[in-house]
Amino acid sequence: GESVGLHLPTLSVQEGDNSIINCAYSNSASDYFIWYKQESGKGPQFIIDIRSNMDKRQGQRVTVLLNKTVKHLSLQIAATQPGDSAVYFCAENISQAGTALIFGKGTTLSVSS
């Protein structure tokens, strides 16, 4: 699988590999985090979310890990498929204060078969 420790703007993997996309968030007061997938010409699509009282959450083929100590978030995609090719954004929010999502830098995932 492909693993990166720091945010990279692009990630290229082979079909069937596991992908890991990293994100550093900015506000230590943020308590809600979301990963979105955005395909070309479309709006962001919700993938998975996690609250700050958790450090791991699993969905279908996706896992989100949260490390509050270093303000780091990662998205793991198992058995990556060509349909996973898109730009992935993490977003943070302070649920008790404001409602605006703050988006991180996107990562373009390219899956080749």
Partner 1 sequence: DTGVSQNPRHKITKRGQNVTFRCDPISEHNRLYWYRQTLGQGPEFLTYFQNEAQLEKSRLLSDRFSAERPKGSFSTLEIQRTEQGDSAMYLCASSSGTATDTQYFGPGTRLTVL
Give contact residues for partner 1 (rule: CB under 8 A): 32, 34, 36, 41-46, 49, 89, 91, 95, 98-106
Residue with the two structure tokens 């010409």: 41
Minimum CB distance to partner 1 smaller for 1 or for 24: 24
Q: What share of the chain is helix, strand, coil (3-state, %, to 5)?
A: 5, 50, 45
Question: In angstroms, what is the minimal distance from the CB of 51 to partner 1?
Answer: 9
* Residue 88, both tokens: 């992935």
Find out whether 79 and 96 touch, Cβ atoms under 8 Å. no
The DSSP bridge pattern shows strands 62-67 and 56-58 to be antiparallel
Q: From the CB of 66, what's the least distance to partner 1, in Å?
A: 16
* Residue with smaller CB distance to partner 1, 18 or 108: 108
Tell me, rounded to whole angstroms, the distance of Cα 16 from its chain centroid: 19
Output the smallest distance, CB 13 to partner 1, in A: 21
Smaller CB separation from partner 1, 28 or 46: 46
Nearer Cβ to partner 1, position 24 or 32? Answer: 32
